[in-house]
């Protein structure tokens, strides 16, 4: 909130005050005695020196000249008005003139603007509110402006432009309250101002604006003034603008609003921006003290040690120049003073550990800014981090500084230019004008209807990247303006949501929401298009090609750049979320109804919206609360199923509604052999409850055996299909299908069905196919379930065609479709064979399970993949109870004639897609029990173990079966995967020995002879090591701090699953921990020693080893595996 020229105390102190004679208006020769007072911003005169409110004020910024005119008189000349004063003596006149001239010069220097360009006292920043008001005691209406923490009174609009007013009221002593429908009082200790507005609504807006001024006045004083107590902090650290009221709390510099905007644009990893005025809670005594000690002085000695004059910033620098400079300064560290240890990581870290125990904050700043690791290991387990060392030494300011820089990224000259700022390179110039209806801007979402009376007609002009609104088309000064570069979101509420039929919302960076309305749809669309064009950069202009409900920029993380959020451009149309990322990859739109997961993580201030699609995860960060909340609601609404047609449901991968898929899958797993399946009805209440929850959010419903009866599920599915307003075969085509059933020639009939099928909407087509395929399977088991094709047709005919079942036409269609399933749906041999095998396996498993209830039951058929999960790599294999992982591996390799060479380390992995983890089975592990425990998200794959060699080498070079050290730790506090885990990753000290994995919050230790710290404290947690299952990888949703994570699963005796996530700093560390786990769990035998596996002279397979889990391995491995996930996996191999 820049304020020109007003401002808090430091500049409002009187420069000169005293009695002068002033000549009265309109040619009278009688001079009147006035008390005249000059401060940095205003020349004011009062009736007496006891008055709080002036008769007149003249903005110093508007004074063009001060000249002597004889008789101890002098004139103060503004753009078109002259004020004459007479002093008691020549000496006194000289003093006044000098003081005035000096004030003018300083004012200009401060504004760095030639006086000619100043159009009025309001300067470059629009008032929060301005307009006409009646004031009791004045004949004519006054022009009143609420600017920053002042309420300024002018005789009229013209005076307002000229910067010559009656008086202004400092709102730090003000209080407003309403009196009646249109009137309100502004009360101060010196006087009560009784205002009357035009309407009740205007009165409300005035009250809001004045209350805002009070809040600003009250918040200004405290923190800002304390921080400005040190001279360098009184000017923006970056551009030199006066009275900077923002700060970067990690860089520890005080900055102006304009620079703050650019700081924020660099991301919180570079600069954490807070307001001195508005974020009052942030400003603890310690932080204020830190700013007094470091602040702009020390900050610039380090960050701006060598700024070439040509690259320096001015308060008036353009946004583009500002951005260039700030990125060079903080992102690249281009101007910083290099620490002598620069480039030598170890010594930097050591120096940091030493510095934090002293009071030398500038040294800490220099070390961190040159790359010292804020979380580096000090070598002292008692105080393992710099923060702990500072704490030990009682250095609270050092601690504060370290804490604020915990996540700061080290500037790098070689850093690729951040691309996220493309949008602001050059914004297209768009011009548009016309009348719009506008409400007062709001600081929160508009949940309820705004009545027509709340809108005021405004003349709006969009030009040169600014949207200005005026009282009327003749007005010269806008009531306010919105800069296109500050617009972050544009949203179009549904028609008739507010009092105007067509409305749109504009969200700004400053967290304000402006609502505009129009009666004409065309005019509204035109405005939306023009505003969108004005704030969307060329990079993202593709988003403008279609209508949207919401459009804007948001910080996001996706793909490989999970470290630092970037700004992307998003648009929402229906259930499609389009995104344009500065990385340049053209992303497919996200189908919100097809999301596998949509959740919100984090607490109030740092919320993250997580969207998981099949192979990608997108995080949208809630940096700005207002537009983020808007997006959140819109995305949630778009992702929920809404509507009558199948395609408006939540959809699965193959375009089948999740609701259908869930039911069919459950019946396939549990109901194929259930007698009378689909004929028997479930319990009405249970069926209804289930259907309701499926309709609400099918994705989140998990059908579990034992909890749901198959008949309830089958009834829910039938009910859903029967109640579909448009029906599965659509209203339009229903009759054609029924007619087709009467064609006598079978061949002709089938081809007619094919024809009709092709005409269905894609989602309906896919659903018909899935359903008939399912019924085909059901009838395969008619021996047990008594549901042959005919019986199924009797049930499903009327359901799918929504008929009363009087005639059999509908039934015949269903019967035909099942009988001719293979032909009608062009099912190929392979597909059919696979389907049969799957079903057989399921049924066998169930039969075996119920027959004996133990693991010793017959053979299981299981699908195992070679190298990667894809159809061509699939093997169905019988798993006898005695089979080990090694035997399974050899069997698969044998079948595919894969030669095994030394150091290939072929291993069977258990992969959990949902958790994004994998676990190499130990060669001696029995496979069958693992199969029993595999969820639907898991599968087995045989591939080379990429780090076995490194692990064996590590183990060979180490004696003993223990390991200890720091890891980042996070706990999954939810049971059975219900709910979301809470909290983040925290540093913990771990000790792993032959019996336990123990975790310590802090350790007070003494090194024992073997270097293992002996803890005098009880561990925070401990787990018996042999009952742990250790998986490689941590799911991305949890935002692991590094890509070298482990997921540790512990099943308690009560069969409760607990999960812990551990993250290592390096890949080597990960391998060491994992190797030690293997070593401990398998008594030192990690890999079979006898070389039976090597031999067979078959040429090497051409498949590369594609890692399945992106969160593992080197950057390159990750890239490849992510690419493999994102695209057709085969393309990767073909290119290789
Ligand atoms: Zn600045």
CA of 246 to the centre of ligand 1 (A): 9
What the block records as the tokens of 1057 is 């699953």
Tokens matching residue 985 = 């990753």
Q: How far is the CA of 315 from the centre of ligand 1 (A)?
A: 6
Residue 924 phi, psi dihedral angles, 5° rounding: -95, 0
CB 865 within 8 A of CB 941: yes
540 alpha carbon to ligand 1 midpoint, in Å? 28
Three-state SS for 440?
A: coil
329 CA from centroid of ligand 1 (Å): 13
1021 CA to centre of own chain: 33
Residue 242 CA to ligand 1 center (angstroms) comes to 8
For the beta carbon of residue 81, count every other beta carbon within 10 angstroms. 13
Under 8 Å between Cβ of 159 and 143: yes
The answer to whether the CB of 881 falls within 8 A of the CB of 928 is yes
Distance 6 CA to ligand 1 centre (A): 18
CA 487 to chain centre: 17
Ligand 1 center to residue 262 CA distance, Å? 9
Q: Which of 346, 421, 417 is nearest to 378 (CA)?
A: 346
Quote the ligand 1 centre to 235 CA distance (angstroms).
8
Distance 268 CA to ligand 1 centre (A): 18
552 CA distance to ligand 1 middle (Å): 26
Three-state SS for 391-450 is: HHCCCHHHHHHHHHCCCCCCCCCCCCCCCHHHHHCCCCCCCEEEEEEECCCECCCCCCCC
Q: How far is the CA of 311 from the centre of ligand 1 (A)?
A: 14
- Kindly give the distance from the C-alpha atom of residue 148 to the centroid of ligand 1, in angstroms, as a whole number: 18
Query: In the sheet where 938-944 sits, what is the strand order?
Result: 874-879, 860-866, 938-944, 906-912, 917-920, 1028-1032, 1044-1051, 1057-1064, 963-972, 986-992, 996-1000, 1021-1024
pLDDT of residue 12: 67
Q: How far is the CA of 260 from the centre of ligand 1 (A)?
A: 7
Residue among 496, 514, 376 nearest 440 (CA): 514
Backbone angles phi, psi at 257, to 5 degrees: -60, -40
The full DSSP string for 579-637 is: EE-TT---PPPEEGGG-SEEEEES-STT-EEEEE-SS-EEEEE-SSHHHHHHHHHHHHH
**How much distance in Å is there from the Cα of 237 to the middle of ligand 1?**
7
Q: How far is the CA of 531 from the centre of ligand 1 (A)?
A: 27
Q: Ligand 1 centroid to 238 CA: how many Å?
A: 5
- For ligand 1, the distance from its centroid to the CA atom of residue 283, given in whole angstroms, is 20
- Summarize the chain as % helix, strand, coil (round to 5): 35, 25, 40
CA of 432 to the centre of ligand 1 (A): 31
Ligand 1 centre and the CA of 297: distance in Å?
A: 15
Distance (angstroms) between ligand 1 centre and the Cα of 330 equals 14
Measured in Å, residue 788 CA sits from the centre of ligand 1 at 79
d(CA 275, ligand 1 centre) in Å: 13
Q: How close is the Cα of 784 to the center of ligand 1, in Å?
A: 79
260 exposure class (CB count in 10 Å sphere: 0-12, 13-18, 19+): buried
pTM check: above 0.75: no
The H or E element containing residue 143 is: strand 142-147
User: If you measure from the C-alpha of residue 274 to the centroid of ligand 1, how many angstroms do you get, rounded to a whole number?
Assistant: 14
Q: How far is the CA of 1078 from the centre of ligand 1 (A)?
A: 56
User: How far apart are the CA of 127 and the centre of ligand 1, in A?
Assistant: 21
pLDDT of residue 1012: 53
Distance 322 CA to ligand 1 centre (A): 8
Q: Which two tokens stand for residue 440?
A: 């007062």
Q: How far is the CA of 241 from the centre of ligand 1 (A)?
A: 5
Ligand 1 centre distance from Cα of residue 305 (Å)? 17
Cβ burial of 131 (10 Å; 0-12, 13-18, 19+) is buried
Whole-number Å distance between alpha carbons of 338 and 88? 61
Q: Indicate if the alpha-carbon torsion angle 524, 526, 527, 533 is positive or negative.
A: positive
Q: What's the CA-to-centroid distance between 183 and ligand 1, angstroms?
A: 40
Distance 150 CA to ligand 1 centre (A): 23
Distance 492 CA to ligand 1 centre (A): 34
CA angle 632, 638, 644 (to 5 degrees): 155
Residues 6+ apart with CB under 8 A from 852: none
Burial 1070-1091 (b: 16+ CB within 10 A, else e): bbbbbbbbbbbbeeeebbeeee
356 alpha carbon – ligand 1 mean position (Å): 30
Q: Is the peptide bond before 5 cis (omega within 30 degrees of 0)?
A: yes
| Residue 8: C-alpha distances to residues 228, 316, 748 (Å) | 11, 21, 89
Distance 105 CA to ligand 1 centre (A): 21
Q: Determine contact, residues 912/1031, Cβ cutoff 8 Å.
A: yes
φ and ψ at residue 1105, rounded to 5 degrees: -100, 105
Q: In 787-828, which residue ranges form alpha helices assigned H by DSSP?
A: 789-801, 809-819, 821-824
Distance 228 CA to ligand 1 centre (A): 15
Quick one: 574 exposed, middle or buried, by C-beta within 10 A (0-12, 13-18, 19+)? middle
Handedness of CA 415, 416, 420, 421 (dihedral sign): positive
Compute the distance from residue 54 Cα to the ligand 1 centre, in Å. Answer: 33
Q: Ligand 1 centre and the CA of 221: distance in Å? A: 20
**How far is ligand 1, taken at its centre, from the CA of residue 254, in Å?**
9
Q: Which DSSP helix (H) or strand (E) runs through 494?
A: none
Helix, strand or coil, per DSSP, at residue 141 = coil
From first CA to last CA, the distance across the chain in angstroms is: 56
The answer to whether 837 and 845 have CB atoms below 8 angstroms apart is no
φ, ψ (nearest 5 deg) of residue 1115: -55, -40
What's the CA-to-centroid distance between 284 and ligand 1, angstroms? 24
1023 CA from centroid of ligand 1 (Å): 54
| DSSP SS3 for 350 | helix
**Structure token digits, residue 864:** 């195992």
d(CA 791, CA 957): 70
Quote the ligand 1 centre to 240 CA distance (angstroms).
Answer: 6
* Partners of 131 in beta bridges: 144
Across the 1136 residues of the chain, what is the mean pLDDT of every consecutive 10-residue run? Answer: 37 82 72 89 90 90 87 86 88 92 84 41 60 89 89 91 90 84 87 90 89 74 85 94 90 91 83 81 89 95 90 87 91 88 86 94 93 87 90 94 84 46 49 88 85 90 86 80 89 90 91 91 91 86 87 80 73 89 70 77 71 74 85 85 72 81 86 88 89 81 78 92 89 91 92 93 91 91 89 91 84 93 87 77 64 39 82 76 83 82 87 88 83 78 89 78 87 49 76 86 54 61 85 86 88 72 90 90 80 36 29 38 35 34
Is the CA virtual torsion 786, 789, 793, 796 positive or negative? positive
Q: How far is CA 636 from CA 548, 574, 630, in A?
A: 16, 12, 10
Task: Name the residue among 282, 548, 265, 296 with its Cα closest to residue 425.
Answer: 265
Q: What is the pLDDT of residue 1054?
A: 62
Q: How far is the CA of 239 from the centre of ligand 1 (A)?
A: 4
Q: Are 854 and 895 in contact (CB under 8 A)?
A: no
Give the C-alpha separation, 315 to 264, whole Å: 18
566 Cα to the center of ligand 1, angstroms: 23
* Axis-axis angle for helices 200-227, 285-293 (nearest 10): 60
Residues 6+ apart with CB under 8 A from 911: 869, 917, 918, 938, 939, 940, 941, 1108, 1109
Distance CA 813, CA 76 (A): 96
Look at residue 562 in the predicted model and tell me its pLDDT: 54
CA-closest candidate to residue 1019, choices 964, 1078, 945, 1077: 964
Query: Parallel, antiparallel, or unpaired for β 253-255 and 246-248?
Result: antiparallel
**Mode of pairing for the β-strands spanning 938-944 and 860-866:** parallel
Phi-psi region of 272 (alpha: psi -120 to 50; beta: other; left: phi over 0): beta
CA of 232 to the centre of ligand 1 (A): 13
Are 369 and 336 in contact, with CB atoms under 8 Å apart?
yes
Q: For the CA atoms of the chain, what is the radius of gyration? A: 37
CA of 261 to the centre of ligand 1 (A): 9
Distance between CA atoms of residues 574 and 590, nearest Å: 11
Distance 258 CA to ligand 1 centre (A): 6
DSSP one-letter code for 982? -
Q: How far is the CA of 532 from the centre of ligand 1 (A)?
A: 28
At residue 238, the pLDDT reads 95
Distance CA 1112, CA 314 (A): 47
| Cβ contact 240:314 at 8 Å | yes
Ligand 1 mean position to 100 CA, how many Å?
28
Between the CA of 925 and the centroid of ligand 1 the distance, in Å, is 64
Could you tell me which residues come within 8 angstroms of residue 322 by beta carbon, excluding any fewer than 6 positions away? 238, 239, 258, 259, 262, 313
**43 C-alpha vs ligand 1 centroid, how far in Å?**
28
Question: Rounded to the nearest whole angstrom, what is the distance from the C-alpha of residue 256 to the centroid of ligand 1?
Answer: 4
């Amino acid at each position: 909130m820049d304020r020109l020229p007003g401002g808090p105390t430091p500049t409002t102190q009187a420069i000169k005050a005293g009695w002068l004679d002033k000549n009265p208006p309109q040619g009278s020769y009688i001079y009147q005695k006035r008390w005249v007072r000059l401060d940095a911003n205003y020349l004011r005169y009062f009736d007496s020196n006891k008055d709080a409110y002036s008769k007149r004020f003249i903005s110093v910024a508007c004074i063009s000249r001060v000249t002597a005119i004889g008789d101890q008189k002098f004139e103060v000349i503004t753009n078109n008005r002259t004020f004459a004063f007479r002093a008691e003596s020549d000496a006194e006149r000289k003093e006044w003139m000098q003081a005035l001239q000096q004030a003018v010069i300083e004012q200009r220097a401060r504004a760095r603007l030639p006086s000619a360009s100043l159009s009025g006292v309001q300067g470059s920043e629009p008032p929060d509110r301005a307009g006409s008001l009646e004031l009791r005691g004045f004949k004519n209406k006054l022009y009143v402006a609420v600017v920053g923490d002042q309420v300024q009174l002018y005789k009229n609009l013209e005076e307002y432009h000229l910067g010559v007013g009656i008086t202004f009221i400092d709102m730090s002593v003000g209080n407003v309250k309403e009196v009646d429908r249109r009137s309100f009082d502004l009360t101060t200790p010196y006087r009560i101002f009784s205002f009357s507005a035009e309407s009740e609504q205007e009165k409300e807006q005035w009250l809001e604006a004045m209350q805002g001024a009070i809040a600003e006045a009250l918040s200004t004083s405290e923190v800002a003034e304390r921080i400005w107590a040190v001279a360098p902090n009184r000017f923006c650290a970056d551009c030199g603008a006066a009275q900077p009221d923002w700060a970067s709390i990690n860089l520890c510099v005080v900055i102006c609003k304009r620079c703050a905007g650019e700081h924020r644009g660099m991301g919180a990893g570079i600069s954490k921006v807070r307001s001195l005025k508005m974020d009052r809670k942030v400003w603890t005594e310690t932080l204020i003290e830190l700013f007094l000690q470091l602040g702009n002085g020390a900050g610039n000695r380090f960050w701006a040690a060598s700024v070439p004059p040509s690259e320096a910033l001015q308060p008036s620098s353009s946004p583009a120049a500002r951005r260039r400079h700030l990125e060079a300064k903080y992102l690249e560290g281009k101007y910083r003073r290099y620490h002598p240890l620069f480039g030598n990581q170890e010594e930097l870290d050591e120096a940091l550990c030493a510095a934090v125990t002293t009071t030398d904050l500038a040294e800490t700043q220099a070390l961190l800014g040159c790359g010292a690791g804020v979380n580096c290991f000090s070598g002292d387990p008692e105080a393992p981090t710099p923060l702990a060392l500072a704490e030990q030494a009682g250095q609270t300011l050092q601690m504060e500084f370290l804490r604020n820089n915990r996540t700061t990224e080290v500037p790098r000259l070689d850093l690729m230019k951040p691309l996220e700022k493309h949008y602001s390179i050059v914004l297209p110039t768009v011009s548009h004008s016309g009348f719009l209806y506008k409400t007062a801007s709001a600081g929160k979402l508009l949940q309820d209807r705004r009545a027509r009376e709340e809108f005021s007609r405004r003349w709006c002009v969009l030009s040169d990247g600014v949207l200005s609104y005026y009282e009327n088309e003749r007005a010269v000064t806008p009531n306010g303006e919105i800069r296109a570069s500050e617009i972050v979101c544009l949203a179009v509420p549904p028609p008739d949501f507010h009092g105007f039929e067509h409305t749109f919302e504009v969200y700004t960076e400053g967290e304000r929401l402006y609502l505009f309305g129009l009666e004409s749809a065309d005019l509204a669309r035109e405005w939306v298009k023009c505003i969108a064009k004005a704030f969307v950069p060329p990079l993202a202009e593709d988003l403008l090609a279609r209508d949207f409900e919401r459009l804007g920029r948001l910080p996001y993380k996706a793909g490989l750049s999970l470290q630092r959020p970037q700004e992307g451009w998003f648009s929402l149309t229906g259930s499609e979320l389009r995104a344009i990322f500065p990385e340049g990859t053209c992303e497919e739109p996200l189908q919100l109804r097809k999301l596998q997961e949509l959740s919100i993580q984090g607490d109030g201030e740092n919320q993250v919206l997580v969207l998981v699609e099949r192979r990608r995860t997108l995080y949208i960060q809630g940096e700005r609360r207002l537009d983020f909340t808007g997006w959140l609601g819109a995305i949630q609404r778009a992702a929920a199923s809404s509507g009558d047609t199948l395609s408006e449901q939540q959809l699965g991968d193959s375009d089948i509604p999740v609701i259908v898929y869930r039911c069919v899958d459950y019946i396939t797993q549990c109901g194929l052999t259930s007698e009378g399946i689909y004929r028997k009805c479930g319990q009405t209440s249970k069926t209804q409850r289930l259907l309701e929850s499926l309709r609400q959010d099918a994705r989140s419903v998990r059908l579990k055996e034992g909890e749901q009866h198959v008949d309830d599920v089958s009834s829910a599915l039938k009910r859903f299909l029967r109640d579909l307003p448009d029906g599965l075969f659509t209203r339009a085509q229903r009759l054609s299908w029924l007619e087709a059933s009467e064609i006598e020639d079978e061949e002709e009939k089938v081809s007619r069905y094919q024809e009709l099928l092709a005409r269905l909407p894609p989602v309906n087509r896919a659903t018909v196919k899935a359903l008939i395929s399912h019924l085909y399977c059901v009838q395969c088991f008619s021996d047990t379930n008594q549901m042959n094709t005919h019986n199924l047709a009797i049930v499903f005919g009327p359901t799918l065609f929504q008929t009363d079942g009087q005639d059999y036409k509908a039934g015949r269609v269903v019967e035909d479709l099942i009988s001719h399933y293979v032909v009608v749906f062009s099912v190929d041999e392979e597909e059919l064979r696979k389907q049969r095998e799957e079903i057989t396996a399921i049924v066998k498993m169930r039969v075996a399970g119920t027959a004996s209830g133990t693991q010793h039951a017959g053979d299981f058929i299981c699908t195992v993949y070679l190298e990667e999960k894809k159809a061509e790599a699939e093997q169905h294999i019988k798993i006898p109870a005695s089979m080990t992982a090694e035997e399974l591996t050899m069997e698969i390799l044998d079948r595919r004639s894969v030669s095994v060479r030394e150091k290939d380390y072929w291993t069977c992995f258990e992969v959990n897609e949902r958790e994004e983890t994998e676990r190499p089975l130990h060669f001696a592990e029995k496979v069958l029990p693992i199969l029993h425990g595999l969820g639907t998200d898991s599968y087995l794959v045989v591939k080379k173990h990429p780090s076995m060699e490194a692990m064996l080498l590590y183990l060979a070079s180490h004696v003993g079966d223990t390991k200890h050290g720091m890891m980042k730790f996070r706990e999954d506090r939810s049971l059975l995967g219900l709910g979301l885990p809470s909290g983040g990753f925290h540093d913990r000290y771990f000790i792993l020995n032959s019996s336990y994995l123990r975790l310590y919050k802090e350790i007070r230790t003494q090194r024992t002879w073997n270097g293992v710290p002996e803890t005098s404290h009880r561990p925070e947690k401990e787990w018996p090591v042999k009952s742990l299952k250790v998986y490689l990888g941590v799911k991305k949703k949890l935002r692991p701090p590094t890509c070298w994570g482990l997921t540790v699963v512990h099943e308690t005796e009560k069969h409760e699953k607990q999960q812990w996530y551990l993250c290592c700093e390096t890949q080597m560390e990960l391998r060491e921990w994992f190797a030690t786990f293997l070593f401990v769990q398998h008594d030192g035998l990690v890999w079979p020693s006898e070389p039976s596996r090597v031999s067979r002279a078959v040429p090497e397979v051409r498949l590369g080893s594609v890692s399945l889990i992106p969160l593992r391995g080197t950057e390159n491995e990750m890239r490849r595996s992510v690419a493999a996930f994102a695209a057709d996996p085969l393309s990767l191999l073909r290119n290789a």
